[in-house]
Each structure stands twice: as structure tokens, then as C-alpha cells.
Amino acid sequence: MGRRIIIPVLILISNLTFSQTAKYSNEFLSIGVGARSLSMSNAMVANTKDVTSGYWNPAGLASLQTDFDAGIMHAEYFAGIAKYDYLGGAMQLDTNSYLGVSLIRFGVDDIPNTTDLIDSDGNIDYDRISRFSAADYAFLISYARKTKYPNLMYGANVKIIYRNIGKFASAWGFGLDLGLQYHLRDWNYGVLARDITSTFNAWTFNEDELIIEVQDSVFNFAPDNSLEITLPRVLLGVSRDFTIYNKFKALAEIDLDFTFDGQRHVLIEGDPVSIDPHVGIEINYNQLAFIRFGVGNFQRIEEFDNKESMTFQPNFGIGIQFKGVSIDYALTDIGDQSLALYSNVFSIRYSFDKRSN
């Protein structure tokens, strides 16, 4: 009788074997949503005020200019291997309250499953290869409200996370975000406490899919930790509106992303606190045509000769807006200029009032 072996299905599963808190858990929720936001390097915490506020800062939903706002986005990464999609909607409940929902998916599809490649007699059979998907999902329910203090808003997100690796493993997670925004003439201020209570992902593994019979072979590998914890982070942002000339106007924002999970190789390193800045600029003509720039994702890289270098992520985008329809495009690099792996991101947003129907 053949001995049992456990096949390590992808590095995705092996990453779950660490006994300590995973520093980069749920990182798909750090990518961002909306081509406008991505072209401005995710500098959104202070100025966001549309349906994407459900992701960037739920307090921004309280600045919706219409009764309803809906948005959709599609992006592809790593030459189309990974797909990233977003769908969101927001509405005004009354004069002071707003509600939003967001759905995010990041996944790699059609991955070959070779766990059954070798039969119980040790023979290779390529007809036994199947395919599966490894995908992360997030569902956000957002609530925002204006306060009795002029121009001060607050909001919160309840997050439900589902992660799936084919038939091999899956996880459920829950988290909470809190946000504030304050507007003072041409200045906007924002703060977002993301995963404020920490977000917990509880994994379950299907041993029937991971374990197969192979004669005279034995490996002793199995995930030994079924819990991931995403520690809190705080994002601070400040933005300002400018009039350039006549109908030409501009918006500039700088955000600081504070993490508390130990030293990260970002622009401002620290232990346990690191700070990752990102800056975005938007220029528009009469709120009809937009051009955007951004820079962020500064990373300290140690070269083979032990010298340290700095990389960053440049971004560019354009957009048009007419009669409640906004179409935006962003061109982004994944973070290393030497690789030049650019991604094209498109998003569409539609805003309308009840009385317009």
C-alpha cells in the first residue's frame, strides 16, 4: 500500500504556514479602486467624494452631489495573468446620511492543477490535469453621515473577506474601517483608520484534495496555521483646490500611509512604524476633461552588491465627464521602472438624481 504524501499547492498555500502574523495579509485591498485614483497614486483620502469613497474613505460619501452614484472598473496585471475588478454603488438616505456598497475581486484563473498528475501506481497521466482559480473577494458596506459641525463628516466600513484557492483552501474574514473628512474653503483633510480592530481571516483546508497516494514516496508538508491577521494602518491626507486660469483648475493631494507591523522598505522606514507617502495631481478644464499624474509606492531595494536603491511607481491618467457619466483611464507601472510592466485601467462612473428620471 502506497504511503500518503501531501502536495504543496502553490506558494499561496505555503505562505499560510507562518506562525507569526502575516505582514502582507489581504494586500489586494491595498491596490485601490477607480482609474482616477490609481492615476493619482492613491492620493484620495482627503478629496474623495464619489462612489469610490466606500473604499478610500467612507466619510467622503457624505459629499455626494447626486442621489445615486455607481461605478465599475476592470484592470489586468502581469501581462493579463491577474484580473482585478470593482463594482460599487452609493445613495443618499436622507439629508445627512449616505449608504454605499463595494465588491472587489482579484484573481488568477485557469491555473493548472497537477495534484492528480501521477496515479496511485506512479504513472504520469496528463489527462488528469484540471484547472482552478485563486481569487480574493471583498464586500464592503459603507455608511457616512454629516455632523452638526459644518463641513465635518464621518463614515465607517464593514468588510467581509472571502479568499479561495480552488478546491484546496478557503478563508473568511471580517474587518472594520473608520474615516473622517473636513473641508475648509479650498482645503480638504482626511483620515482613514483601516482594519481598526484588525481583520481576521480564518482558513480551512481540504485534505482530501491535498493528499494523494504515491507508492514508496513520502513528504510531510501541511499548513499548520489557519489564521491570518491584518494589522491596523492609518492614512492621513490633505488636498487643495487651485484656480490656474479662467476655467482651468487643479487639485493636489499628499497622503501618508502609516503601518504598524514592523519595518517596511518604504521611503520612511521604522520599527514598528513605517510611513509610505504618495502624491497626486489633477488638472481639469471646466470639469469636463481631466489629466492626472501621481507618484508613490517608494521602495528601498538592496542590490546584489549590497548597495541600496530607491524605486517608485509613476502613474498617469486622463478622464472625461459629461451629463453624469465619467470615463477614466490610468496607466500604471507595478513599481519597478526597470521592468516597465504597465497596466491599463479603465473605469466608468454614473451619477444621477431621482428627479432626473
* pLDDT at site 12: 41
Domains in the chain: boundaries:
3-105+134-356
Return the number of other C-beta atoms located less than 10 Å from residue 24's C-beta. 11
Return the number of other C-beta atoms located less than 10 Å from residue 301's C-beta. 13
Q: Which residue type is seen at 239?
A: S
Residue-averaged pLDDT of the chain: 84
CA atoms within 13 A on the CB side of 237: 33
* pLDDT at site 126: 78
CA distances from 119 to 37, 115, 207, 213, 224 (A): 50, 9, 17, 8, 27
Q: Which of 45, 3, 89, 30 is nearest to 239 (CA)?
A: 45
**Mean pLDDT confidence for 60-82:** 89
Q: Which is more confident, 16 or 305? A: 305
Q: All 3 cell numbers of residue 271?
A: 520599527
Q: Which of 132, 228, 104, 105 is nearest to 172 (CA)?
A: 228
The per-residue pLDDT for range 116-152, each reduced to its tens digit, is 777 667 778 777 788 888 999 999 999 999 999 989 9
Query: How far is the C-alpha of 8 from the C-alpha of 222, rounded, in Å?
Result: 8
The superfamily CATH assigns to domain 3-105+134-356 is Outer membrane protein transport protein (OMPP1/FadL/TodX) (2.40.160.60)
User: What is the band of 334 on the pLDDT scale with cuts at 50, 70, 90?
Assistant: low
- Give whichever of 1-15, 46-60, 119-133, 330-344 has the largest mean pLDDT: 46-60
The per-residue pLDDT for range 238-276, each reduced to its tens digit, is 999 999 999 999 999 999 999 988 888 888 888 889 999
For Cα atoms 184, 100, 52, give the angle at the middle one, nearest 5 degrees.
Answer: 60
Q: All 3 cell numbers of residue 18?
A: 507562518
